[in-house]
Amino acid sequence: MSTESIAPLTAQLEQKHVQLQDLLRDMETVVVAFSGGVDSSLVLKVAAEVLGSSVLAVTAVSPTFPKLELTAVRCLSQEIGVPLVIVETNQLEIPAFVRNDATRCYHCKTDLYRRLTRLAADRGFRHVVDGTQCDDFSEERPGIQAAQALGVRSPLVEAALTKSEVRALAKKLNLSNWDKPAAACLSSRIPRGLAVTPERLRRVEEAEAFLFQEGLKHLRVRDHDGLARIEVDPADFPAFYEKSRRQRLLARFKELGFRTVTLDLEGYRPGGGNT
């Protein structure tokens, strides 16, 4: 379960829900940039309820998209009852992305939203929408600028919904992922200034998959050029006290190419890859 909060279902939140419905209904036909997270899932769910077959979910699959997420995306689109289109992208072909400076997300999202706006136009959809919500503006999100520049709308922002309110509405609407922890692309595990490479993406993805198999859920593995910095919820620190588990972890991480393995005592936090 997510460690993030969930808002109470107040009259004000019900009004925001109605506003979200009205916003999407007025758009008439929409392509939803669908990541499988709770934010874009709520947009997709409400759009499907008010627009029916005039909704299309599109997910971009690339070397930075965790393979485990693709299964979740397929299941959720079926759960909501909206057709899903998978488009393949490769940010590693964009030098400005590989460079991994503060504009990395901008270049990624610009490439993505250009593809989605072309797809929408080709298929006769009027709008492309994403799952940005109000709390995203409290973090560094260059991708928001890319969306705005290309005319991608953010209905959760337009309805003034915060993350905790999104979770509350997702739970109310019986979305199976209402309590899913926030996710991010694999490149966010590589600190700024270190090039995003296939090898680094592979080892952080496989390292996180190993920790998931060990029963840990809310986590990140940061790759500091061969030094693994593990972030987990502080409540999960005791999982690392067991000698046999530590030995399994060290053996697996060394096998993946990490020279040193550390546990970050600050615990998991969004944006930890930029420290």
Residue 2 lies in a domain: no
> What's the token pair of residue 154?
């953010």
Tens-digit pLDDT string for the chain (275 aa): 344 688 898 999 999 999 999 999 999 999 999 999 999 999 999 999 999 999 999 999 999 999 889 999 999 999 999 999 999 999 999 999 999 999 999 999 999 999 999 999 999 999 999 999 999 987 777 889 999 999 999 999 999 999 999 999 999 999 999 999 888 899 999 999 999 999 999 999 999 999 999 999 889 999 999 999 999 999 999 999 999 999 999 999 999 999 999 999 999 987 655 55
- Asked whether residue 112 falls in the same domain as residue 144, the answer is yes
Which CATH number fits the domain that encloses residue 17? 3.40.50.620
Q: What number of other Cβ atoms are within 10 A of residue 196's Cβ?
A: 23
- Asked whether residue 34 falls in the same domain as residue 118, the answer is yes
Give the phi and the psi of residue 243 in degrees, each rounded to 5: -60, -45
Domain count within the chain: 2
- Asked whether residue 199 falls in the same domain as residue 253, the answer is yes
pTM for the whole thing?
0.91
- Cβ atoms of 135 and 160 within 8 Å: the answer is no
- Asked whether residue 155 falls in the same domain as residue 200, the answer is no
Residue 167 lies in a domain: yes
Which of 173, 208, 237 is the C-terminal boundary of a domain? 173
* Chain-centre distance for alpha carbon 170: 16
- Asked whether residue 161 falls in the same domain as residue 226, the answer is no
Give the structural domain span for 119.
Answer: 11-173
Q: Which residue has the tokens 């890319």?
A: 146
Q: How far apart are CA 130 and CA 116, in angstroms?
A: 11
- Asked whether residue 154 falls in the same domain as residue 67, the answer is yes
- Asked whether residue 109 falls in the same domain as residue 236, the answer is no
- Asked whether residue 26 falls in the same domain as residue 96, the answer is yes
- pLDDT, position 124: 98
Beta bridge partners of 129: 32, 153
Beta bridge partners of 128: 31
Q: How far apart are CA 180 and CA 167, in angstroms?
A: 9
Q: Please tell me whether residue 86 adopts helix, strand or coil conformation.
A: strand
- pLDDT, position 39: 97
Which of 118, 141, 173 is the C-terminal boundary of a domain? 173
> What's the token pair of residue 107?
């270049």
Q: Amino acid identity, residue 70?
A: L
- Asked whether residue 146 falls in the same domain as residue 61, the answer is yes
Which CATH number fits the domain that encloses residue 203? 3.30.70
- Cβ atoms of 119 and 58 within 8 Å: the answer is yes
- Asked whether residue 59 falls in the same domain as residue 160, the answer is yes
Residue 69 lies in a domain: yes
Give the phi and the psi of residue 55 in degrees, each rounded to 5: -130, 140
Distances (CA, A) of 5 to 59, 78, 86, 246: 27, 27, 31, 31
> What's the token pair of residue 84?
């899903």
Q: What number of other Cβ atoms are within 10 A of residue 144's Cβ?
A: 20
Residue 213 lies in a domain: yes
- Asked whether residue 52 falls in the same domain as residue 140, the answer is yes
Q: Across the beta sheet with 219-224, what order do the strands follow? A: 219-224, 227-232, 260-263
- Asked whether residue 167 falls in the same domain as residue 221, the answer is no
